[in-house]
Amino acid sequence: MGFPPGMVIRVWSIFMQLFLLTSASSRLVGHEVDRLSLLAFKAEIMSDTMGILSSWNEFLHSCEWPGVFCGHRHRRVTVLDLQSSQLKGSLSPHIGNLSFLRTLRLQNNSFSGTIPQEIGRLFRLQMLSFDNNSFSGAIPSSISRCSNLQYLSLFGNTLSGKIPIEIGSLSKLQVLNLGTNNLSGEIPSAFSNLSSLEMLDVQQNNLHGGIPSSLGQLKSLKYLALGTNNLYGTIPPSIYNLSSIKLISVIANRLHGTLPPGLGHTIFPNLESFSFHMNRFSGPIPITISNASNLKFFGISVNIFTGRVPSLARISNLFRVEMDSNSLGNNEDGDLDFLSSLVNCTNLERLDISGNNFGGLLPDSISNLSTKLTVLKLGMNQIRGSIPVGIGNLINLGVLDFKVNLLRAGIPSSICNLNKLYDLLLNHNELSGALPSSLGNLTSLGRLNLMSNHLQGSIPPSLGECRNLLALVLSQNNLSGPIPPEVIRLSSLSVLDLSSNHFTGSIPIDVRYLVSLTSLALSENKLSGELPNAIGNCMSLKSLHLEGNFLRGTIPEDWSSLRGIEDFDLSRNNLSGRIPYYLGSFDFLRNLNLSFNDLEGAVPMRGVFQNTSALSIMGNKRLCGGICLLGLPRRRIISNESKQEWRRVLKSIAIGGVIGLGLLLCFVLLNLSKKALRFVLLYPSRKARVKPTSGSSWGVSLLKVSYADLLKATNGFSTRNLIGAGSFGCVYRGILNEEERIVAVKVLNVHSSRESFIAECEALKNIRHRNIVKLLTACASIDFQGNDFKALVYEFMMNGSLEEWLHISADRVAGAPIVQGHLNLIQRVSIAIDVANALNYLHNHSHMPIIHCDLKPSNVLLQGDMTACVADFGLAKYLPYASRSLPLHENTSNVIKGSIGYIAPEYGMGNQVSTYGGVYSYGILLLEMLTGKRPTDEMFKDGMNLHNFVRMALPERVEEICDPVLLQKKESSTRSNATNNRNNIEDDQGQRIRKCLVIIARIGVACSADFPRERMDIGNVVDGLYLVRDVLTGTWIPRNHVTA
């Protein structure tokens, strides 16, 4: 039965009206939800300084609100873009109600709090950017429900916790940036499921563990940034199969291994940026890197790379090359050939190859490098030659660093054309000639360091035009003339060091303009006149060194304003008057040296004057008072009559002494044996060569030296001859005129006790062992000012101390031997054997057991052939076999001196010295040689120490904690075409190295056990280390370890 046509039309009309009414109601409800959600978002904003959200009100449709964009069809919110709007507040959970949202951009604001879990309800979301906010807490795992996400960036927040493995399910994700947060845990291997991923950035977090090999499945990956974490191990080979990679950065981790052959050619053929800084990578730079024609940035700083740098001529797009702090180069001609190939890199802006082993001549071609170059650093190598005249072509140069090389000739005047130069560092070379007169053209100069060269002439006054100069260091040259007032007027100066030159005249009163000065060093010159009151205006001063001049007068009262001073040295001048009491109120003063002047009166008793280790006032005969430890006469007033009476008494004593000495001499001559008489008759010929002194009375050697001999041998104890300094005093390099013999002269300071001097003489005079430094003679006399002088003369050790080889220090004394390179495993084992042999002799085979009491790397010296000798017996103690008591000349106190970290723990509880304590110090030294870490390293805290650090790594993880230098395998002396044989040799060598590292670690741990009687016998240590060396070299020869 059919319906009438009119009824059909009526029913259809009613249906359409109902449909349209329902659809409109649905849109109305959805839009209202969006509006209310946005208002809830606004309610959580605490600060809106730009007023962007002020128009989010009922007068405007929500789709017209700033930052809000809606779809044309449903009028629902699809984009919320409030980036860089200076908003501050938290993110409302109602953000999850914007169900049509596809783009959410809130970067560059100040949002804080956690990211709400409701973010996972935005299933249509394609882009989420929360960069550079202050979001904290964990990344919500619900974010994995945003299945359409293509871009996820949470960079630059304070997010913590582990990276949710659920992120690995976001199969459409192309960009994942979680860098610069506080994320921890490991990189999820589930990231391998992100098949569309082009960028992965997790740098600057606290991630640990290895790099997952599964990341090698990300075939679309172009940018991989894993830097500044705690990742360790090697880079998985699968990573090197990612042919789309343009950028790879693993900077500042604990990764090791070598760079693969084919890098830049078959491996990473599209490479543009390569950042492997600050790891433990080693081996050569692959020659194929020259094929990386797209490479723009190449950085391998602070690793252990070796060998020559290949030509970079075909990498014309390079703008930044950083290869500093490695072991590149062989210290031979041709090392710098690659520099000429960089002439083709017309966009080069930064070149840093400092801190390597490059030798050869500095090529003139560096003058033809890109004029865009802003940084050129070639310092701390062995580069010879001269600075090219064409260096002035590099007109945009801001940093020129050639320090610590072997450059000669003069400083070319063309260098003054570089008017953008900020850093000019040419210190520690062999440059000569005068300073360029046009240095004042360098008006942008901030630091000028020409220290330790052979420069002559005067300081050009034009330098006063460098009004941005912060640091001027011209010390240790042959500069002369007066100090130009133009330079002293540079109010920008923070550091002024003109020490160890030949400057004359007075200190300019214009020093008052140096209101920003923190360090002033004018020591070791020929300055005269009085101390200027104007220095009191330099109230920012922390260090003041004026020692070694001809300054006179009193210490000005106006200097009482220098309340921030920490280091204050006026020694060896002609100052007079009293020591100002205000010096005792300087709370930050840590070193005060007023010695060898003509100061008088009472010594203050406050502040630094209570600390004898921080104070030196010797050589001022008219001082009195002070604390008892200074040993000065008590404060007293002597009348003129008393003074005359004292003079008469002293005159009588002197006359009687001369008469008594003459009678004694006659008695000795009359009773001498023939043998002794023969010695006396022969003695004058010896006297023509060296002068006798009271130093011979110690029975150390027939070689006799006086204070004058040692003064001449060390060029007046010049700072140029200084090779070491410590709490005991200073060590100088000297040449004795008798036979032009090079010696080391250890001058004990005024605080060194007579007992310490005697202890070292007594300990060494009867010792003859190849691994104990040889004491040639001693001198106990008075200097030309009538002060006590004590010195010990040793054989000179041309390779410095073990400390310098293990830890190359920025504070190295200027005259000390320059250490280049690192000690390999065999060298360290040999040194360890030498030191153990020395201890074995001292403990078990000397005429009486001797305990060194201060064994540490700085007291192990190295001969030219790297034979190690134990030195510095100032704290040594005898242990008589029967009583095991302290020697007679020892103080009865049980307080044991030594160095923190090396001293046995039982000494801190009052126990007497023992051979066990010596073994403990040796164990710590051995572990330091193994790991490259000092026992006082900042990482050792909260119960962790060097002993436990190594003990917990035994045996599986020893390679992880040892110095990476020790893992380098020695190249085979023969080459073979048989790959299998070569691999077998390398595997065997690697196994032997691992075995030896474990043995060394076990010996070190056994020697440094907490309980003395659990420590290893030093004789067994010697046997064990000989075994290690035999295993390393593949030999076994029985040895007698007792004889010297």
Could you tell me the pLDDT band of residue 453, with boundaries at 50, 70 and 90?
very high
Residue 640 pLDDT? 44
Q: What angle do CA 871, 877, 881 make, to 5 degrees?
A: 125
Question: Of the given ranges (115-124, 170-179, 468-477, 607-616), which has the lowest mean pLDDT?
Answer: 607-616
Q: Are 464 and 442 in contact (CB under 8 A)?
A: no
- Say if CB 226 and CB 203 are below 8 A apart: yes
Spans of all domains in the chain: 686-796, 801-1033
In CATH terms, the superfamily for domain 801-1033 is Transferase(Phosphotransferase) domain 1 (1.10.510.10)
pLDDT surpasses 90 at 679? no
Q: What is the CATH number of domain 686-796?
A: 3.30.200.20
Task: Please compute the mean of the pLDDT values over residues 131-147 and round it to a whole number.
Answer: 94
On the question of pLDDT at 880 being above 60, the answer is no
For the annotated catalytic residues, the residue numbers are 854
Highest mean pLDDT among 3-7, 13-17, 803-807: 803-807
Main-chain phi, psi angles of 248, to 5 degrees: -135, 130
Strands laid side by side in the 526-530 sheet: 432-434, 454-457, 478-482, 502-505, 526-530, 550-553, 574-578, 598-603, 622-625
Q: Which residue has the tokens 């009865």?
A: 892
User: Which of the two residues, 707 and 541, has the higher pLDDT score?
Assistant: 541
Cis peptide upstream of residue 887 (ω within 30 degrees of 0): no
CA distances (Å), origin 440, targets 390, 414, 462: 19, 13, 4
Give the pLDDT mean for 53-77: 89
Cα 64–Cα 67–Cα 72 angle in degrees, nearest 5: 50
Q: Are 367 and 394 in contact (CB under 8 A)?
A: yes
Residue 592 above 90 pLDDT?
yes
**Mean pLDDT value across the chain:** 83
pLDDT surpasses 70 at 498: yes
Residue in 166, 174, 219 with CA at minimum distance from that of residue 199? 174
d(CA 459, CA 847): 60
Q: Do domains 686-796 and 801-1033 have the same CATH topology?
A: no
162 is in an annotated binding site: no
Q: Which helix (H) or strand (E) holds 802?
A: helix 802-806
Helices (H), 586-688: 640-671, 674-687
Question: Terminus-to-terminus CA distance in the chain, angstroms?
Answer: 128
Q: Measured between alpha carbons, how far is 41 from 39 in angstroms, rounded to an integer?
A: 5
Residue 715 confidence (pLDDT): 84
Tell which wins on pLDDT, 246 or 766. 246
Closest by CA position to 800, among listed 823, 778, 826: 823
CA 784 to chain centre: 40
The whole-number pLDDT of residue 680 equals 33
992-1041, pLDDT tens digit by residue? 788 888 889 989 999 998 888 888 888 888 888 888 888 787 665 444 43
Other C-beta atoms lying within 10 Å of the C-beta of residue 540: 15
